[in-house]
C-alpha cells in the first residue's frame, strides 16, 4: 500500500506541484489549505507523513506542529516544514518548535521526493523499473518540460528536450528517439507541422508520438492527431499515472485496450459532418446531457442490478463527454480573458498585434493567422503580424486592401468562407500566399473608426471555420480594437500631459521671469520708469530711480490726474512731462533732471512705448552721465592741452598757428615759429629720475611763458620739445630779442627739489612769409633749424636756410635710397686682410659693407652707416652681413682658398632689438660652417649698454666656438670688472691711437697699456689702421699679435681677396732689423750740410749713423730701429728740438739724448734738462774731440743703464 502524505499549503501552485510529484511516484496525497484544517485532517486521516508550510492562514506552521505534538494520537507522525529559511537561525527555530525536518523553497522536483523518502519508514511505493528508452519532450513551456522530465526520469529512460518544433525536428533526425511527446501549439513550428515533417523521413516515420496539449478541446485535439498520424493525445493537466501508463503503452511495454478503428486512444466520437456546432448549441447539448444523466440517476434507484450497471456506464460516458466539451469552452474563455489582460497592459503597438495574432490562431485552431493595422486612408499597413510559416509578409503589408480584405475594411463585417480550392487568388490574396481551403476574416473596428483586419486560414481538425470560431475571432478583434483605442487614448493623454507639463513649466518660468525682472530692475544701475500714458501716471519705478532722484517709490505712484501734490512732489510732474515729451522710438536723448534736493542731474534717456492690454506703457531708461560729462571735459582738455605743463599740445598749437597765420596775413605782419629742445635733458632724467625731469619741464615751460608777450603762443610737442609762435608786426629781426630773452632766462639755475640744475636750449627759427605760409612747413623748417643748432654745439639758435632744407631733403633721399638698397640687394662686402705680425701670414679678414648705389657709385660707409643706426635699418643690414659672411666662408671652404677666418661688426642696436644670437646660429646652420671661423666685433659702448644680457648672449655664442673681439678698444667707456667677465678673445686697438703711435707719447702709452693688459688677460691684440713701416715696427717691437691696415692691403672686393689668398701673399719683415746689435746714432737736423758733416765726422768711430731732417722722420727711424744715442738740433721747423726730445723721452726712455743749439735762449733747453728729456747739451760751434768723447760716454752710460750693444762688447772683453 502506498504511503499517505498530508500537505498543508495555502499556495495553490505549490500545492499542485507537490500533489503531481507525489502521485507521479505512487504516493497518496492529502491536502489542506489552512492550519486549522490541516490539524483536523491529520487527526482524522492519520497520514504517514505531514508536509506543512510555515506561513498559513488561521493557524501558522508553528501552531500546527505544537497542536500535533500535543495530541498523543498523531505526535509520532513525522512533520516537515516548507520554508525559504530567509533568516539566520530559522533552521534551529523550526527544529526547536517540533518539526522533524524541513524542505526548502522553491521546491525542486529533482530532490523533493528524495527528501521525503528519508522520513518514511518503508511506506514508499516506487514505480517499477522499465527497459531504458530514449524519449524526446518537445514543448515551448519550460515548466511542462521539467514536469515530464522529472516524472519520466525515475523510469530510467534517457530524456531529451526541445523548446519548439524546429529544434525538435533536428533532435529527432540526430538522436532517433524511441518516443516523442510534443505540444501542438508552439512558436516557429507547431506540433502538427513538426510531426508531419518527422514522418516524411523514412528513418523516423515509425517513431510513436504523444500529443500533450491544453489548448484544444479533446475532440479537436483528437482530430488534429488523426490528421497527422498521432495515436495518443493527453490533455494538460493529466494524472501522472495516466501519463506513465500512456508512455508505457506507446513504448510497447504494456497492453493497450482495443480502440475503435482509426481513432486515437481516449478519443470520443468524431464530429458529425466534419464540423463543430455553434457554441450556444454546444452548451445546450452539454446541459441536456447533464439533465439526462440526472434522470438516469433517478431511474437507477428503481432498476434491477443489471439495468443499473448498464445505465450507470452510459451515464458516465455522457458526463465525461459533456465535461470534456465544457473544459474546451472554459479554456477558450480563459484564453480570451487572458488576452484582454495582456492587451490592456501592452503599450507597444507591434507587440499588441503579435499577441492578438498568436492568441487568435491558438483559440481558433488555424494553420495561419494574420493581423494588419493601418492609419485611415493609408495604402500600407502600419503594424502587421502573422503566425504560420510561409506568409508573404511584405506583399500583404503593401496591399492591405487586396481582395476580400477590402470588404472587411469597407463593410466592417466578418467574412467566413469554407470549401475553397486552395488558390489564394480566388479571394484576392497575393499569389505567394500559402494555399487557402477555409478563410475567416473579421474587421478590427471601434465605434468611430476601422483599425484593420484579422483573418485566419485553414481550420485544423475540421473542414472549415464555424460560427463559434467567427464569434471568437470577432471577440479577439474587438479586444485588439479596444486595446488600440486605449493605446491611442494613452498617447493622447501623454500628449496632453506633456502639453500640460509644458504649460505649467511655462507658467513657472513666467513667474520666475517676473521675479527676475523685478530683481533685475532693482539691481540695474540705470533708472527705469514705467509710465501709463492713458492713465497719466507712473506704473512703477525701480530702486535706482528712487536713489537717483531722492524720492520714494510711493512718491512716484502719487503722480496722476486730479491729484494734488505738495512740496517737492511737483518736481515729479515735471519729470513726467519731460519723459513724455521726447522721441519714443528708442533713440538716445540727454535730459537735465531736478532731484529732490534741488540739484541738477544730467541723464541719458532711452524711451520706448509698449502695448499692455488696451493701454500703452512708456518704458524710459535713464542713465546718470554726470561722470561722463566731467570726463568729456577732462578729455577735451587732454585733447588740447599738455597734462604736465598745462600748455597747448601739438594739436592745439597747430590750430593756434593756423589762426595766427591768418591774422598775420590780414595785417601784413611777420610771424616766427620757434622750435626749442632742452639740451642734455636725458642726462637729468637718467641721473636724477623722471620725477625731477618732470619738475624741470614744468619750470622750463613756466620760464618760457614769462618770456613771451600776450599775443604770443607757447606749446609743448612732447618730451623735451617746445614750440612758440611770435607775432612780429615790426619785422622778423625782432625775433632775436625774444630768443635772447629766452636764452638768458634759461641759463639761470633751476632748483629741482634740492638739486640745482643748469640747462640750455637749442632753438630753431622759421619765419613767415619768408620760409613758408603753411603751419606744417614752418614747424618742419623750425625743427630742421633746431637740429642745426644742436650740431653747432647746443645753447645756440639758427634761422632756417635753404641750404638746411637741401641737406634735410638729401638726408631723406639717402634714407629712402637705403631702404630700397636692402630690397634691391645693392650692398656688397669688401674684405680687409688681417696679418700675423710675427709670421707675416694672413690670419683672416674683416668683412666691411659697401653700398653700390645706382647712379652714385660706391658710397662711403661714413655717410650711410650712421643713418642706418639712426633709422634702425642696421638690424636688417647687420643680419644680411652675418649671413653673407657665412656664405662666403662656406664658399671658400669648398674652393682652393681654404678656411678663412672672417670678422663681422655688430651694432649695439642688434643687441637692444634682440635676436642676434638666433640669427648667428641660423646663419651658421644654414651655411654649414665651422663656428670658430666667424668672429663678431663689438664696441665697448654696445657691450656696456646692457652688460648682463650681453654677457649671457656672448657666453652662448662663445660656447659654440664663435670668436669675440672688442672693436675700437680705448675709445669708449668700459668697466674692467665687466671686461674680465666678457668671453672675449681679442682687443682691437683703434686707429686713433695707432696713427701717431710713433710720435705721440700719449698714444704710445695707451697702445702699450692695451697690449700689456690684453696679454695679462690672455687676450690677443690686433692693431687697425697700420699704414707705415714705422708703426708696424713699433707694434712688432712691443708684442702686438696682429695688424690690419693699408700698409698691407686696403679693403678688397671678393675676387681680389680670393686672388690674394690663392697667391699666398705674405707681409715681409722690416729690412733694418738685422743690425739691431750695432751701436746706432740718430742725428736730427734740418740742415742737410750739417747732417753730412756730422755723419762724416762721427762715422770714424764705427757707429751706425741714421739721419733725419724733421722730427717726424726722427720718430719713424726710432720706431724702425733700435737707437742708443740721439744728437738733435734745437732749431727745426714744425717741432723744436726740445719738444722732440720731450716726446722721445716717453717713447724711447732707454736712449741717451744730446742737444746742439746755436741760439742764446737757453730757457727751453734748461727746462728740458730739468725734466730729464736732455742728457747733454752743446752749443754750436762745437769742439770735435769733446763731442766725440761725449757721444762715446753716451753709449757707455746707455749700455750701463739699459744693456745696449756697448755693454755687450765690454762683457765680451772680460776673460771668461
Q: Maximum distance among all alpha carbons in the chain?
A: 210
Q: pLDDT per residue over 227-238, tens digit each?
A: 888 989 988 777
| Nearest CA among 15, 81, 4 for reference residue 41 | 4
- Tell me the three state secondary structure of residue 207: coil
Alpha helices, DSSP H, located in 872-946: 874-894, 908-913, 916-927, 940-945
Q: Looking at the structure, do residues 66 and 8 belong to the same domain, yes or no? A: yes
Q: Give mean pLDDT, residues 586-596.
A: 85
Q: Is the pLDDT of residue 297 over 90?
A: no
Helix axes 279-300, 305-345, angle to 10 degrees: 150
Residue 975's pLDDT band, with cuts at 50, 70 and 90, is low
Mean pLDDT of 207-223: 78
In this predicted structure, the answer to whether residue 334 has a pLDDT above a threshold of 80 is: no
The phi-psi region of residue 1131 (left if phi > 0; otherwise alpha if psi is between -120 and 50; otherwise beta) is: beta
Q: What is the pLDDT of residue 23?
A: 78
How many CB atoms lie under 10 A from the CB of residue 528?
A: 18
User: How do residues 1076-1111 score in pLDDT, each as one tens digit?
Assistant: 568 999 999 888 888 888 888 888 888 999 999 898
Q: Are strands 49-53 and 4-8 parallel, antiparallel or unpaired?
A: parallel
848 and 959 belong to one structural domain: yes
| pLDDT score of 376 more than 60 | yes
pLDDT at residue 82 in the model? 86
Segment 255-262 long-range contacts (CB within 8 Å, at least 24 positions apart): 262/226
Q: What is the pLDDT of residues 1056-1066, one digit of tens each?
A: 999 998 888 99
CA 747, CA 757: separation in Å to the nearest integer? Answer: 10
pLDDT bin (cut points 50, 70, 90) of residue 714 is very high
**1083 phi, psi to nearest 5 deg:** -110, 120
Q: Tell me the helices (H) and strands (E) count for the chain, helix number first.
A: 43, 41
For residue 598, give the DSSP letter. Answer: S
The answer to whether the beta carbons of residues 830 and 902 sit under 8 Å apart is no
pLDDT band at 804 (very low <50, low <70, confident <90, very high): low
- pLDDT mean over 14-38: 84
User: Which stretches of 1169-1211 are assigned E, i.e. beta strand?
Assistant: 1176-1179
CA pair distance 771, 769, nearest whole angstrom:
6
255 & 335 share domain: no
Q: pLDDT-based confidence at 268, cuts 50/70/90?
A: very low
Question: What number of other Cβ atoms are within 10 A of residue 215's Cβ?
Answer: 19
**Quick one: which of 558, 560, 557 has its CA closest to 533?**
560
Q: Quickly state the pLDDT bin for 363 (edges 50, 70, 90).
A: confident
Q: How far apart are CA 368 and CA 1010, in angstroms?
A: 121
Residues in the chain: 1216
Compute the average pLDDT of residues 704-727.
91
761-775, 843-857, 911-925: least confident range: 911-925
Pairing of strands 857-859, 842-853: antiparallel
Q: Is the per-residue pLDDT at 316 higher than 70? A: no
pLDDT the model gives residue 946: 73
Distance CA 578, CA 607 (A): 11
Would you place residue 998 in the very low, low, confident or very high pLDDT band (cuts 50, 70, 90)? confident
At 778, give phi and psi (nearest 5°). Answer: -65, -40
- Tell me the per-residue pLDDT of 599-646, one tens digit each, with 9 for 90 and over: 888 998 988 888 877 778 888 999 998 888 888 887 877 778 888 888
pLDDT at 721: 92
Residues 321 and 370 in one domain: no
Please, which pLDDT band fits residue 870 given cuts at 50, 70 and 90?
confident
CA angle 632, 634, 638 (to 5 degrees): 110
Count of CB atoms within 10 A of residue 307's CB? 12
The pLDDT value given to residue 1067: 87
Q: What pLDDT digit, counting tens, does each position of 42-54 carry?
A: 999 999 999 998 8
Q: Which of 262, 269, 180 is nearest to 218 (CA)?
A: 269
864 burial (CB, 10 Å; 0-12 / 13-18 / 19+) is: buried
**What does the pLDDT read at residue 1162?**
78
Kindly state whether residues 937 and 963 are assigned to the same domain: yes
Q: Is-contact 360 388, C-beta < 8 A?
A: no
Residues 1190 and 1097 in one domain: yes
> For residue range 720-752, what is the model confidence (pLDDT) as tens digits?
999 999 999 988 888 888 998 998 898 899 998
CA distance 988 to 938: 10
Cα–Cα distance measured from residue 225 to residue 194, given in angstroms and rounded to the nearest whole number:
12
Distance, in Å, from the CA atom of 473 to the CA atom of 903, rounded to the nearest integer, reads 111
Whole-angstrom Cα distance, residue 742 to residue 726? 12
**Domain assignment of residue 1042, yes or no:** no
Domain-located, residue 1002: no
- Tell me if residue 320 falls in helix, strand or coil: helix
What would the pLDDT profile of 156-181 be if each residue is shown by its tens digit? 688 899 988 889 999 999 889 999 99
Is 805 part of a structural domain of the chain? Answer: no
The more confident residue out of 25 and 664 is 664
Question: Reduced to 3 states, what is the DSSP secondary structure of residue 68?
Answer: helix
Task: Name the band, by pLDDT with cuts 50, 70 and 90, for residue 951.
Answer: confident
Report which of residues 134 and 142 the model is more confident about: 134
Last residue of a domain, one of 265, 283, 312: 265
The yes-or-no verdict on residue 323 having pLDDT over 50 is no
The answer to whether the beta carbons of residues 1082 and 1091 sit under 8 Å apart is: no
Question: What average pLDDT does the segment 787-810 reach?
Answer: 80
Own/partner pairs, 1071-1078, CB within 8 angstroms, 24+ separation: 1072/1120, 1072/1121, 1073/1033, 1075/1104, 1076/1121, 1076/1122, 1077/1205, 1077/1208, 1078/1103, 1078/1104, 1078/1205
CA 276/CA 465 separation, integer angstroms: 8
Q: Are 594 and 569 in contact (CB under 8 A)?
A: no
- CA–CA gap between residue 1179 and residue 368 (Å, rounded): 160
Together in a domain, 275 and 258? no
Is residue 50 situated within a structural domain? yes
The predicted structure's pLDDT at residue 208: 93
Alpha helices in 963-1079 (DSSP H): 976-979, 991-994, 1001-1016, 1029-1037, 1054-1063
Nearest alpha carbon to residue 1125 among 1092, 1078, 1166, 1171? 1078
The verdict on 875 and 757 lying in the same domain is no
Per-residue model confidence (pLDDT) at position 263:
36
Is there a contact between 329 and 283 (Cβ–Cβ < 8 Å)? yes
- Band of pLDDT at residue 994, cut at 50, 70 and 90: very high
- Closest alpha carbon to 1132 in 1190, 1169, 1083: 1083
| Residue 376 counted as domain residue | yes
Domain at 20, CATH number: 3.40.50.2300
Q: Are 165 and 193 a contacting pair, CB within 8 Å?
A: yes
| Helix pair angle (690-707, 735-747), 10° resolution | 140
- Give the separation between CA 1199 and CA 24, rounded to whole angstroms: 151
- What pLDDT shows up at residue 860? 84
Report pLDDT for 290: 44
Instruction: Enter the DSSP assignment of 1203.
Output: -
CATH number at residue 650: 3.30.70.270
Q: Determine the Cα–Cα distance for residues 1170 and 1000; give it in Å rounded to an integer.
A: 21
- Tell me the pLDDT tens digit for each residue of 749-795: 999 888 889 899 999 999 999 889 999 999 999 999 998 888 887 88
683: left (phi over 0), alpha (psi -120 to 50) or beta: alpha
Rounded (5°) CA angle 938-944-948 = 105
421-456 tens-digit pLDDT: 889 888 888 888 889 999 999 999 887 788 899 999
Please tell me the predicted confidence (pLDDT) of residue 581: 81
Taking Cα atoms as reference points, which of 931, 921, 936 lies closest to residue 983?
936
In a domain, 503, yes or no: no
Query: Any alpha helices (H) in 641-734, and if so which ranges?
Result: 650-667, 681-688, 690-707
Sign of dihedral through CA atoms 407, 412, 413, 417?
positive
Residues 648 and 621 in one domain: no
Structural domain of residue 205, as residue ranges? 134-265
Task: Tell me how crowded residue 240 is: count the other CB atoms within 10 A of its CB.
Answer: 22
- Could you give the percent of the chain with pLDDT greater than 70? 86
Residue 126 lies in a domain: no
Which pLDDT score, from 0 to 100, does residue 1090 have?
Answer: 86
State the pLDDT at residue 1055: 92
* 237 prior amide bond cis, ω within 30: yes
Residue at 127 is within a domain: no
Residues 1092 and 1194 in one domain: yes
| CATH number, residue 591 | 3.30.450.20
What mean pLDDT value characterizes the chain? 82
d(CA 168, CA 1117) in angstroms, rounded, equals 133
Least confident of 194-203, 232-241, 840-849: 232-241
Phi-psi region of 933 (alpha: psi -120 to 50; beta: other; left: phi over 0): alpha
Is there a single domain that holds both residue 647 and residue 796? yes
Residues with Cβ within 8 Å of residue 571, at least 6 apart in sequence: 549, 594, 595, 596
Among the candidates 1040, 1063, 1086, a domain finishes at 1063
End-to-end CA distance of the chain: 161
**Model pLDDT, residue 186:** 83
What is the predicted pLDDT for the residue at 123? 43
Instruction: Please enumerate in sequence order all residues whose Cβ is within 8 A of that of 539, keeping only pairs 6 or more positions apart, or say none.
Output: 530, 531, 532, 617
Looking at 800, 828, 848, the residue that finishes a domain is 800
Share of the chain above pLDDT 90, in %: 25
pLDDT of residue 415: 93
Q: Which of the 8 DSSP states describes residue 784?
A: H
For the cut 50, the answer to whether the pLDDT of residue 266 exceeds it is no
pLDDT average, residue stretch 947-976: 83
pLDDT(267) > 70: no
Which residues have CB under 8 Å from 36's CB, separation 6+?
58, 59
As for how many domains the chain has, the answer is 8
Q: Is the same domain home to 236 and 326?
A: no
Return the pLDDT at 492.
Answer: 84
Q: Hey, how many other C-beta atoms are within 10 angstroms of the C-beta on 177?
A: 22
Q: What is the mean pLDDT of residues 841-852?
A: 94
Amino acid at each position: 500500500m502506498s504511503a499517505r502524505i498530508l500537505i498543508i499549503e495555502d499556495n495553490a501552485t505549490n500545492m499542485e506541484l507537490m500533489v503531481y510529484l507525489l502521485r507521479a511516484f505512487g504516493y497518496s496525497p492529502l491536502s489542506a489549505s489552512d492550519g486549522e484544517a490541516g490539524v483536523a485532517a491529520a487527526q482524522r486521516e492519520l497520514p504517514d507523513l505531514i508536509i506543512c508550510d510555515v506561513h498559513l492562514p488561521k493557524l501558522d506552521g508553528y501552531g500546527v506542529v505544537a497542536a500535533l505534538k500535543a495530541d498523543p494520537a498523531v505526535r509520532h507522525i513525522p512533520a516537515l516544514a516548507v520554508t525559504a529559511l530567509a533568516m539566520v537561525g530559522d533552521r534551529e527555530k523550526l527544529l526547536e518548535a517540533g518539526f522533524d525536518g524541513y524542505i526548502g523553497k522553491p521546491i525542486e522536483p529533482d530532490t523533493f521526493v528524495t527528501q521525503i523518502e528519508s522520513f518514511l519508514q518503508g511506506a514508499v511505493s516506487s514505480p517499477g523499473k522499465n527497459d531504458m528508452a530514449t524519449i524526446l519532450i518537445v514543448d515551448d513551456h519550460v515548466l511542462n518540460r521539467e514536469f515530464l522530465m522529472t516524472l519520466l526520469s525515475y523510469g530510467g529512460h534517457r530524456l531529451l528536450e526541445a523548446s519548439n518544433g524546429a529544434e525538435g525536428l533536428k533532435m529527432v533526425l540526430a538522436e532517433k528517439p524511441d518516443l516523442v511527446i510534443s505540444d501542438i501549439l508552439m512558436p516557429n513550428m507547431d506540433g502538427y507541422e513538426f510531426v508531419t515533417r518527422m514522418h516524411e523521413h523514412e528513418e523516423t516515420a515509425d517513431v510513436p508520438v504523444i500529443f500533450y496539449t491544453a489548448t484544444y478541446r479533446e475532440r479537436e485535439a483528437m482530430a488534429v492527431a488523426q490528421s497527422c498520424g498521432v495515436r495518443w493525445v493527453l490533455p494538460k493537466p493529466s494524472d501522472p499515472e495516466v501519463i506513465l501508463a500512456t508512455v508505457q503503452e506507446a513504448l510497447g511495454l504494456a497492453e493497450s485496450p482495443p480502440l475503435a478503428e482509426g481513432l486515437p486512444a481516449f478519443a470520443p466520437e468524431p464530429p458529425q459532418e466534419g464540423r463543430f456546432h455553434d457554441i450556444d448549441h454546444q452548451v445546450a447539448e452539454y446541459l441536456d446531457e447533464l439533465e439526462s444523466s440526472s434522470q438516469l440517476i433517478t431511474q437507477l434507484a428503481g432498476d434491477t442490478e443489471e439495468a443499473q450497471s448498464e445505465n450507470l456506464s452510459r451515464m458516465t460516458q455522457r458526463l465525461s463527454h459533456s465535461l470534456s466539451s465544457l473544459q474546451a469552452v472554459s479554456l477558450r474563455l480563459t484564453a480570451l480573458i487572458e488576452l484582454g489582460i495582456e492587451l490592456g497592459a501592452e503599450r507597444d503597438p507591434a507587440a499588441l498585434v503579435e499577441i492578438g495574432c498568436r492568441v487568435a490562431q491558438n483559440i481558433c485552431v488555424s494553420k495561419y493567422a494574420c493581423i494588419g493595422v493601418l492609419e485611415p486612408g493609408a495604402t500600407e499597413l502600419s503594424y502587421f503580424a502573422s503566425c504560420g510559416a510561409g506568409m508573404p509578409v511584405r506583399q500583404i503589408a503593401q496591399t492591405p486592401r487586396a481582395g476580400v480584405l477590402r470588404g472587411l475594411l469597407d463593410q466592417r463585417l466578418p467574412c467566413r468562407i469554407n470549401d475553397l480550392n486552395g488558390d489564394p487568388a480566388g479571394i484576392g490574396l497575393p499569389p505567394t500566399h500559402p494555399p487557402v481551403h477555409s478563410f475567416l476574416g473579421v474587421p478590427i473596428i471601434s465605434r468611430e473608426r476601422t483599425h484593420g483586419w484579422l483573418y485566419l486560414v485553414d481550420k485544423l481538425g475540421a473542414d472549415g471555420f464555424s460560427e463559434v470560431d467567427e464569434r471568437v475571432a470577432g471577440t479577439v478583434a474587438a479586444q485588439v480594437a479596444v486595446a488600440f483605442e486605449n493605446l491611442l487614448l494613452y498617447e493622447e493623454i501623454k500628449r496632453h500631459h506633456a502639453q500640460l507639463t509644458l504649460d505649467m513649466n511655462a507658467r513657472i518660468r513666467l513667474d520666475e521671469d517676473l521675479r527676475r525682472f523685478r530683481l533685475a530692475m532693482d539691481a540695474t544701475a540705470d533708472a527705469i520708469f514705467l509710465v501709463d500714458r492713458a492713465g497719466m501716471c507712473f506704473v512703477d519705478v525701480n530702486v535706482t530711480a528712487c536713489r537717483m532722484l531722492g524720492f520714494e517709490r510711493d512718491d512716484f505712484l502719487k503722480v496722476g490726474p486730479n491729484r494734488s501734490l505738495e512740496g517737492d512732489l511737483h518736481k515729479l510732474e515735471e519729470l513726467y512731462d519731460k519723459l513724455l515729451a521726447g522721441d519714443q522710438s528708442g533713440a538716445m536723448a540727454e535730459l537735465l533732471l531736478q532731484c529732490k534736493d534741488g540739484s541738477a542731474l544730467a541723464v541719458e534717456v532711452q524711451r520706448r512705448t509698449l502695448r499692455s492690454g488696451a493701454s500703452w506703457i512708456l518704458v524710459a531708461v535713464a542713465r546718470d552721465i554726470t561722470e561722463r560729462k566731467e570726463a568729456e571735459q577732462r578729455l577735451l582738455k587732454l585733447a588740447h592741452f599738455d597734462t604736465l605743463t598745462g600748455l597747448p599740445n601739438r594739436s592745439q598749437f597747430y590750430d593756434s598757428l593756423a589762426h595766427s597765420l591768418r591774422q598775420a596775413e590780414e595785417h601784413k605782419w611777420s610771424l616766427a615759429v620757434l622750435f626749442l629742445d632742452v639740451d642734455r635733458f636725458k642726462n637729468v632724467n637718467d641721473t636724477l629720475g623722471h620725477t625731477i625731469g618732470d619738475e624741470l619741464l614744468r619750470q622750463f615751460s613756466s620760464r618760457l611763458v614769462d618770456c613771451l608777450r600776450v599775443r604770443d603762443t607757447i606749446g609743448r610737442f612732447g618730451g623735451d620739445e617746445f614750440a612758440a609762435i611770435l607775432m612780429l608786426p615790426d619785422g622778423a629781426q625782432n625775433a632775436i630779442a625774444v630768443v635772447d630773452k629766452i636764452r638768458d632766462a634759461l641759463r639761470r639755475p633751476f632748483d629741482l627739489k634740492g638739486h640745482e640744475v643748469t640747462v640750455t636750449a637749442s632753438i630753431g627759427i622759421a619765419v613767415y612769409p619768408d620760409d613758408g605760409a603753411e603751419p606744417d612747413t614752418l614747424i618742419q623748417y623750425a625743427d630742421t633749424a633746431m637740429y642745426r643748432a644742436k650740431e653747432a654745439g647746443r645753447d645756440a639758435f639758427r634761422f632756417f636756410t635753404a641750404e638746411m632744407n637741401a641737406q634735410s631733403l638729401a638726408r631723406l633721399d639717402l634714407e629712402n635710397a637705403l631702404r630700397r638698397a636692402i630690397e634691391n640687394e645693392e650692398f656688397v662686402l669688401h674684405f680687409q686682410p688681417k696679418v700675423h705680425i710675427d709670421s707675416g701670414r694672413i690670419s683672416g679678414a674683416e668683412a666691411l659693407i659697401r653700398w653700390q648705389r645706382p647712379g652714385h657709385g660706391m658710397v662711403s660707409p661714413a655717410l650711410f652707416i650712421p643713418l642706418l643706426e639712426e633709422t634702425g635699418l642696421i638690424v636688417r643690414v647687420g643680419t644680411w652681413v652675418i649671413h653673407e659672411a657665412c656664405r662666403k666662408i662656406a664658399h671658400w671652404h669648398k674652393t682652393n682658398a681654404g678656411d678663412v677666418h672672417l670678422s663681422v661688426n655688430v651694432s649695439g642696436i642688434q643687441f637692444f632689438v634682440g635676436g642676434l644670437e638666433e640669427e648667428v646660429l641660423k646663419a651658421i646652420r644654414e651655411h654649414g660652417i665651422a663656428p670658430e671661423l666667424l668672429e663678431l666685433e663689438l664696441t665697448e659702448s654696445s657691450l656696456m649698454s646692457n652688460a648682463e644680457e650681453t654677457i649671457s648672449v656672448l657666453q652662448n655664442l662663445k660656447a659654440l666656438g664663435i670668436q669675440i673681439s672688442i672693436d675700437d678698444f680705448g675709445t669708449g667707456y668700459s668697466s674692467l670688472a665687466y671686461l674680465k667677465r666678457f668671453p672675449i678673445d681679442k682687443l682691437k686697438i683703434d686707429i686713433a691711437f695707432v696713427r701717431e703711435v710713433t710720435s705721440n707719447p700719449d698714444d704710445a702709452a695707451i697702445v702699450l697699456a692695451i697690449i700689456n693688459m690684453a696679454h695679462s688677460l690672455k687676450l690677443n691684440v690686433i692693431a687697425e689702421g697700420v699704414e707705415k713701416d714705422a708703426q708696424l715696427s713699433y707694434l712688432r717691437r712691443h708684442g702686438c699679435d696682429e695688424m690690419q691696415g693699408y700698409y698691407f692691403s686696403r679693403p678688397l672686393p671678393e675676387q681680389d681677396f680670393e686672388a690674394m689668398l690663392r697667391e699666398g701673399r705674405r707681409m715681409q719683415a722690416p729690412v733694418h732689423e738685422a743690425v739691431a746689435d750695432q751701436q746706432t746714432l740718430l742725428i736730427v737736423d734740418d740742415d742737410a750740410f750739417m747732417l753730412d758733416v756730422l755723419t762724416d765726422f762721427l762715422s770714424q768711430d764705427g757707429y751706425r749713423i741714421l739721419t733725419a731732417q724733421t722730427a717726424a722722420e726722427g720718430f719713424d727711424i726710432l720706431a724702425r730701429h733700435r737707437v742708443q744715442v740721439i744728437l738733435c738740433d734745437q732749431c727745426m721747423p714744425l717741432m723744436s728740438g726740445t719738444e722732440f726730445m720731450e716726446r722721445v723721452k716717453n717713447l724711447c726712455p732707454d736712449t741717451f739724448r744730446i742737444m746742439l743749439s746755436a741760439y742764446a735762449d737757453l730757457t727751453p733747453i734748461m727746462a728740458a734738462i730739468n725734466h730729464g728729456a736732455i742728457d747733454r747739451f752743446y752749443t754750436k760751434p762745437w769742439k770735435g774731440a769733446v763731442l766725440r768723447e761725449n757721444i762715446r760716454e753716451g753709449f757707455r752710460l746707455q749700455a750701463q743703464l739699459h744693456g745696449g750693444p756697448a755693454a755687450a762688447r765690454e762683457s765680451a772683453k772680460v776673460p771668461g
